[in-house]
Structure 1
Amino acid sequence: MKNSVIATLQENKNDFKEKEDLKALIDSIKDKRIVMMGEASHGTHDYYNWRAKISKLLMEEHGFDFVAVEGDWPACYELNRHVKNYEDASEETKSVLREFKRWPSWMWANWEVHEWMQWLREFNKELPSGKRKGFYGLDVYSLWESLDAVMEYLKKEDPSAFETAKTAMRCFEPHRDEGGQTYALSTRLVPEGCSREVSQLLSEIRKNVSNYNSDREHAFSTEQNAVVTKNAEKYYRIMASGDESTWNLRDRHMMDTLNRLMKFHGENATGIVWAHNTHIGDASYTDMGDQGLYNIGELGREEYGKDKVSLIGFGSYRGSVLAGNSWGSEVQEMKLPEGREDSWEDLCHRAGDQFHIHMEDLRHIPELQKRIPHRAVGVVYNPNHERFGNYVPTLITKRYDHFLFFDKTKALNHIDVSVEDSKLPETYPYGL
């Protein structure tokens, strides 16, 4: 069985070394409304580097409008203003990346993103202001940062709504220093928490947003920060009660944010998403679906149609990776062990070194029409326990439309936001 699968992989794979070798992949995805690109970890150089190269081709040659990532809205929005060359934005990329202070900061404060942002900033200089390519965050965690951003905007633009924002802030203030988990625990005694205050704030902003004319995108961002505040409050409240899935709330928020970005960019908008494979690979073809969980990849196919969305997984067999050994711990470069026997990564390893493959070419293979182990590494990782807890049972040919495989990968080059003079790695630049 294994030999026949490997032979079919070898027959259908597309080897690549340079971005020019990706023509077949680009031709397959260039006419989609949304292209989602994954990663098997949040700490691998090769995934970030090649997602950037593919995104560059889609923007430069096929007019894609923005990249939206598994990151917080406020910090990503500062990068968005930086790459779009707004007059009020910082001109130094590294200083903007220091906005990613919350753990795991290395996900976006890294030299790979630094190079991508510098390319995008230069590319945008040649475009009319209304056509410049954006960079946005999809995630839901930034309760305090989003509320601060709302307060700062409304203080200047809408004094009436600012009073409502202050009421919401007073509700959250006792928990600010300890973070979202402390707020979550407080809702066990007061189940409604601050939900009424943030709902009222969002309602007032939406009522007045059409009057915020000074900067259309800034007004859009203020409304989005109010949405984040409302959904983050609900996220932490649900986390404390355990009555619902916080995973579903998070990915529904990501999908709603993507929908709002598509609407903001116009009727014919096209977008790119960067997130972990567990978010962009259709969850209905994994054991996640058995648990009633869904993700942005599955929702994207449902809402836009499978013919308008391309889901691209990324994975590797061995190498090194950035992660922490517990939540909030110091980031480390860790060994990524060889893939588990008979896993998707093991099959790809036996088929080649570095290639992309169209899943449509594998859907006639009976042995791949059942779930097989597929590696997923999180921000918390222990290589010694990997074989028991880091593989998702996956119907691989249905979960993704395409897959990029790297036999050996290396860790991200992170920027330590606590050190003012963080040094460039010797291998920089990476050649987008």
Structure 2
Amino acid sequence: MKTKNTIIASLLVFNFLHFTTSNAQERPLSPAQNKQLQPFTLKDYQTFKKEVKPLIQEMGLKKIVGLGEGTHGTAEFYTVRYYITRMLIEDYGFNHVAFENDLTEVWQFNQQLSKTNDLNALLKKYFLSLWQNEETKQLFQWIISYNASHKKQVTVNGIDFPAQQPDVDMLIALLDAANITSFSAPLEVLKKSAFMQDEAWSGMNKKDAKTDWNLLAKHCRNEYITADSLETAFKALNIDSSLKNNLLLAIGNLKQGCEPFFREIPEGARDSIMAYNTARIVKDGNDKVVIWAHNAHLGKTGIYDNVVGGTGGYILKLFPGNYFAFGTGTALGTFGGTTDARAVNNSPIAPYPLENPITGSWEELLSSAKTSDFYFDTDKFNPTQELKPLRFIGFGTKSGASSYDKTNLRDLFDAFIFLNQTHAPTPLKDNPVARH
């Protein structure tokens, strides 16, 4: 969790810019631009696979592929990414799927994925509610099936750090597995502070919740110092290397969450941390990672004057020439969002109508295409490096003028997929896990 000011500043990015909404159409796509559009359909996996083969071939050459979403709640974006992820795993040896979700919560999810008889319950326990839908569940059902019949396993990872208690839970589980009982006192310190942080975070969704921020800051500074000391102790342990690495992973993620209380961190720190956490997944030459996160994060540059976003740019610095950024966009329909101030695992998600694209936006221009669903190479599509507003809808309910930032698609993404009309995701249904 971040300090109160950092949290508020991060979320205000979706309210910075203000454009005038209008139904008036600007000039349509040029013949040269129309020529760059590659149509596709989502009616079934095999058809989609044939239609996007050149795109996937380019992605497959990279070690890390970022699959973005223009909203945190569009069914078709989840399906597109499931199909692409499956292709990259089956045909190009990708073996990690990383999410914009708490690192240690997803670690626990992955530990239980192959054994679960209730995937819905597992998703609700360990994933933010924006991932709790039938479209995303398709991916996990497929991974269960794939891992059951392949030696090279696909691992599900998290790269974010919003929750603290899962870090402590992971530490306790790992120390129990190693029969290590000598860290009970510092673990109690971490437990208390983690509980306070998570209560303050989720409490922001409750009108009557009150947080003593000064007391919280005091406890979290102590938590950071304690965690730092534990990290040093863990490095000295003579235990299985895999177990040690996981201990360091958990304590490192906990430190990421409480560091803002210990010292001032720069703007954009969350994106650099998510890039660092992605890099930690790549342990050897055989590891290849697909990331599911918001367009704003997976773009190669930040947005809103670099106040937020740009995880992709940090990844490029860590893996020069080895990252592919893929964005998604839509114009009309519905999307899933929550009225909660902070996205948590039990935030209620409901469908909301997408407002019409604003005048002069990329969405308005792409809506004038001769085909409704297509992808394109951003470099070839925008050789003049034109700047236009692009919509970035987070987990909230607004999709109007304040959700845009003026961008050059080429600066953000290597390729972009556009679906003119889309829908809010399908809520989880009570059906059993498919076994193969």
**Shorter-chain TM-score category?**
0.7 to 0.9
CA deviations over 1:371-404 (Å, ceiling 9, x no partner)? 2100010112234xx11x1001111122110001
In the superposition, relative to structure 1, how do residues 342 and 170 fare at CA in structure 2: closer, same or farther (>3 Å)? Answer: closer
Q: Any unmatched runs of 5+ in structure 1?
A: 416-421
Structure-2 separation of matches of 1:237 and 1:380: 29
Matching residue within 291, 296, 301 for 1:278: 296
Structure-2 separation of matches of 1:174 and 1:98: 22
In the superposition, relative to structure 1, how do residues 27 and 190 fare at CA in structure 2: closer, same or farther (>3 Å)? Answer: closer
Contact 2:196 2:216 in 1 (8 A): no
Structure-1 separation of matches of 2:66 and 2:331: 22
Structure-1 separation of matches of 2:58 and 2:119: 33
User: TM-score with structure 1 length normalisation?
Assistant: 0.82
In the superposition, relative to structure 1, how do residues 11 and 184 fare at CA in structure 2: closer, same or farther (>3 Å)? Answer: farther
Contact 1:120 1:133 in 2 (8 A): yes
How far the C-alpha of 1:198 sits from its partner, in A, is 1.4
The residue that corresponds to 1:409 in the other structure is: 422
Q: How many residues align?
A: 390
Contact 1:106 1:414 in 2 (8 A): no
In the superposition, relative to structure 1, how do residues 177 and 271 fare at CA in structure 2: closer, same or farther (>3 Å)? Answer: closer
In the superposition, relative to structure 1, how do residues 178 and 308 fare at CA in structure 2: closer, same or farther (>3 Å)? Answer: closer
Structure-1 separation of matches of 2:319 and 2:147: 28
The residue that corresponds to 2:377 in the other structure is: 358
- 1:44 aligned onto 2:70: no
| Letter paired with 2:109 | L
- 1:340 aligned onto 2:358: yes
Contact 1:78 1:96 in 2 (8 A): no
How far the C-alpha of 1:184 sits from its partner, in A, is 5.0
| Letter paired with 1:400 | F
The residue that corresponds to 2:13 in the other structure is: none
The residue that corresponds to 1:309 in the other structure is: 323
CA deviations over 1:244-293 (Å, ceiling 9, x no partner)? 44x52211221111111002xx2232111111001001225x4433x5x5
In the superposition, relative to structure 1, how do residues 211 and 175 fare at CA in structure 2: closer, same or farther (>3 Å)? Answer: same
- 1:149 aligned onto 2:170: yes
In the superposition, relative to structure 1, how do residues 175 and 339 fare at CA in structure 2: closer, same or farther (>3 Å)? Answer: closer
Give the secondary-structure state (helix, strand or coil) at the position aligned to 1:211. Answer: coil
Q: Any unmatched runs of 5+ in structure 2?
A: 1-24, 42-47, 205-210
Deviates more, 1:36-45 or 1:146-155: 146-155
- 1:123 aligned onto 2:146: yes
Contact 2:299 2:309 in 1 (8 A): no
CA RMSD between the two structures: 2.7
In the superposition, relative to structure 1, how do residues 393 and 207 fare at CA in structure 2: closer, same or farther (>3 Å)? Answer: farther
In the superposition, relative to structure 1, how do residues 109 and 145 fare at CA in structure 2: closer, same or farther (>3 Å)? Answer: same
Contact 2:378 2:415 in 1 (8 A): yes
The residue that corresponds to 1:96 in the other structure is: 122
In the superposition, relative to structure 1, how do residues 7 and 235 fare at CA in structure 2: closer, same or farther (>3 Å)? Answer: farther
The residue that corresponds to 1:204 in the other structure is: 233
How far the C-alpha of 1:90 sits from its partner, in A, is 2.5
Structure-2 separation of matches of 1:52 and 1:380: 23
Contact 2:325 2:415 in 1 (8 A): yes
In the superposition, relative to structure 1, how do residues 172 and 69 fare at CA in structure 2: closer, same or farther (>3 Å)? Answer: closer
How far the C-alpha of 1:187 sits from its partner, in A, is 5.2
How far the C-alpha of 1:121 sits from its partner, in A, is 0.7
Contact 2:95 2:155 in 1 (8 A): yes
The residue that corresponds to 1:295 in the other structure is: 310
| Letter paired with 1:299 | Y
In the superposition, relative to structure 1, how do residues 156 and 183 fare at CA in structure 2: closer, same or farther (>3 Å)? Answer: farther
How far the C-alpha of 1:39 sits from its partner, in A, is 0.3
Contact 2:164 2:194 in 1 (8 A): no
| Letter paired with 1:107 | L
CA deviations over 1:37-64 (Å, ceiling 9, x no partner)? 1001111101111101000000001111
Matching residue within 373, 379, 386 for 2:389: 373
In the superposition, relative to structure 1, how do residues 165 and 190 fare at CA in structure 2: closer, same or farther (>3 Å)? Answer: closer
Contact 2:163 2:198 in 1 (8 A): no
Structure-2 separation of matches of 1:233 and 1:312: 31
Structure-1 separation of matches of 2:94 and 2:195: 40
| Letter paired with 1:141 | P
In the superposition, relative to structure 1, how do residues 356 and 188 fare at CA in structure 2: closer, same or farther (>3 Å)? Answer: same
How far the C-alpha of 1:203 sits from its partner, in A, is 2.1
How far the C-alpha of 1:191 sits from its partner, in A, is 8.3
Contact 1:38 1:275 in 2 (8 A): yes
The residue that corresponds to 1:81 in the other structure is: 111
Between the aligned residues of both structures, percent identity stands at: 20
How far the C-alpha of 1:221 sits from its partner, in A, is 3.4
In the superposition, relative to structure 1, how do residues 346 and 179 fare at CA in structure 2: closer, same or farther (>3 Å)? Answer: closer
User: TM-score with structure 2 length normalisation?
Assistant: 0.82
Contact 1:357 1:404 in 2 (8 A): yes
How far the C-alpha of 1:111 sits from its partner, in A, is 1.2
The residue that corresponds to 2:190 in the other structure is: 168
| Letter paired with 2:160 | D
How far the C-alpha of 1:29 sits from its partner, in A, is 1.2
The residue that corresponds to 1:248 in the other structure is: 268
How far the C-alpha of 1:152 sits from its partner, in A, is 2.8
CA deviations over 1:233-252 (Å, ceiling 9, x no partner)? 114556xxxx544x522112
Structure-2 separation of matches of 1:166 and 1:189: 16
How far the C-alpha of 1:324 sits from its partner, in A, is 1.5
How far the C-alpha of 1:5 sits from its partner, in A, is 4.4
How far the C-alpha of 1:126 sits from its partner, in A, is 1.3
The residue that corresponds to 1:418 in the other structure is: none
CA deviations over 1:290-309 (Å, ceiling 9, x no partner)? x5x5521111122211x311
In the superposition, relative to structure 1, how do residues 341 and 125 fare at CA in structure 2: closer, same or farther (>3 Å)? Answer: same
- 1:233 aligned onto 2:258: yes
In the superposition, relative to structure 1, how do residues 151 and 41 fare at CA in structure 2: closer, same or farther (>3 Å)? Answer: same
| Letter paired with 2:191 | M
Give the secondary-structure state (helix, strand or coil) at the position aligned to 2:357. Answer: coil
Structure-1 separation of matches of 2:359 and 2:91: 40
Structure-2 separation of matches of 1:121 and 1:403: 29
| Letter paired with 1:256 | Y
